[in-house]
Amino acid sequence: MNKIYLDNSATTITDEAAVKAMLPYFSDIYGNPSSFHSFGRQAKKALEDARIKTARLINAKADEIIFTACGTESDNIAIFGTVNAFGKKCHLIATKIEHHAVLYSFKELEKRGFAVTYLSVDKNGVISLDELKKSIREDTLLVSIMHANNEVGSLQPIEKAAKIISVLNKERRDKIYFHTDAVQTSGKISVNVQTLGVDLLAMSAHKFNGPKGVGALYIRSGVNISPIIFGGHHENNMRPGTENIAYAVGLAKALELSVDSMAQNSQKIKIIKEKLQDGIIKRIPDITINGNSETSISNVLNISFNYIEGESLLAKLDMAGIAVSTGSACASGSSEPSHVLSAMGIDPIAAQGAIRFSFGHHNTEEEIDYVLDVLPKIVEDLRKMSPLYKR
């Protein structure tokens, strides 16, 4: 049996077509897009084509897209960039379940004297619009709410939040900006900056079968934003440094492929998820599903296997050739319960036994059959060794 990769929220395999699209830009077309000669112009053309394509796929204008080094950098530019441009202390809003790329940016701003409100979530991992409304202050500059959470997949009501903010913006002189981390949704569900109503939106190629180390940030035209690193005039003065043409091309190609086969892929992934979920419910007692399929993106299944440690289960599954995660890849290795599961009010013991299965369009039903063959025995064996288990 080949190894089974069920950790697609951590990263994905790069689609062959994306790799193929990138290759010429390592060798044949290697000019610097800032150069005026033909080598430079050729590279510039490839970069701008990638930008046009990326923009079109999220319904933005090409000059509203900058390429970055990753999703984390996109989030950092969105947050620190708007705060720096504002130039005064102010109030900011985020959620308790943001990815660390966003959460730690806000923690840093708190250290620098900014006031931050962290919105709570319900047991399904979804924010309350009422709480958002009540949290907005006279001096609120930026609201950051992720599109879908990376640990449990919960989708946030971005469009409705944007409406609340836009109504307030009509009444106020200062503009409140709205950022969303769409790293877990781009390429998987419709990401349309016009219907979402956001001012800033972060993406990362390696979460939608593109290469690692390249991201994009949508910056609605008119947003008052400053760069956070300094150098040249690249990327609309927002992200200096010679552009990574190959990776920008790879991002655009992977996003195009994902959007083109979105309906097909999401149907396939939904079947796979349901098969695993139903199979686990049928075969394994004392489990809890964290989050709710109705309000979640369908490529993530987060389950607590009560009385055992998620880490031990991950290790046993790995030995059986199955790759999963305990919540977020960044948090693994620490025995702190996940901040996302804690915010959802999940009991710390249950949170310790949580495993995230995340699916991609390369997964097959046969792989799920294999997981369902081996998982019950592994769980049973671990429970037998657990002092908490009393059966």
Q: Which helix (H) or strand (E) holds 218?
A: strand 215-219
* Residue 20 Cα distances to 84, 158, 230, angstroms: 39, 35, 32
Q: Which of 330, 331, 372, 374 does the annotation list as catalytic?
A: 330
When asked if residue 244 is in the footprint of ligand PLP (CB under 6 A), the reply is no
Residues of this chain, 361-390, that bind ligand PLP according to CB under 6 A? none
Query: CB of 160 within 8 A of CB of 143?
Result: no
CB of 204 to ligand PLP, least distance (A): 3
Residues of this chain, 144-203, that bind ligand PLP according to CB under 6 A? 146, 150, 181, 183-184
Determine the length of the chain.
391
Q: Which residues of 188-223 are buried (b: 16+ CB within 10 A; e: fewer)?
A: bbebebeebbbbbbbbbbbbbbbbbbbbbbbbbeeb
* Binding residue for ligand PLP, selected from 91, 207, 273, 356, defined by CB under 6 A: 207
The verdict on whether 70 is a catalytic residue reads: no
CB of 213 to ligand PLP, least distance (A): 8
Which tokens is 45 given? 């053309």
**Distance (Å, rounded) from C-alpha 128 to C-alpha 130?**
5
Which lies closer to ligand PLP via its Cβ, residue 42 or residue 54?
54
Which lies closer to ligand PLP via its Cβ, residue 53 or residue 147?
147
Query: CB of 79 within 8 A of CB of 102?
Result: yes
Residues of this chain, 260-289, that bind ligand PLP according to CB under 6 A? none
CB of 207 to ligand PLP, least distance (A): 6
When asked if residue 227 is in the footprint of ligand PLP (CB under 6 A), the reply is no
**Distance (Å, rounded) from C-alpha 18 to C-alpha 187?**
14
Which lies closer to ligand PLP via its Cβ, residue 101 or residue 252?
101
Which lies closer to ligand PLP via its Cβ, residue 234 or residue 356?
356
When asked if residue 248 is in the footprint of ligand PLP (CB under 6 A), the reply is no
Which lies closer to ligand PLP via its Cβ, residue 14 or residue 184?
184
Residues of this chain, 82-111, that bind ligand PLP according to CB under 6 A? 99, 101
**Distance (Å, rounded) from C-alpha 222 to C-alpha 132?**
24
**Residue 288, beta-bridge partner list:** 304
End-to-end alpha carbon distance in the chain: 33
Catalytic residues: 330
Contact positions vs ligand PLP (CB under 6 A): 70-72, 99, 101, 146, 150, 181, 183-184, 204, 206-207, 215
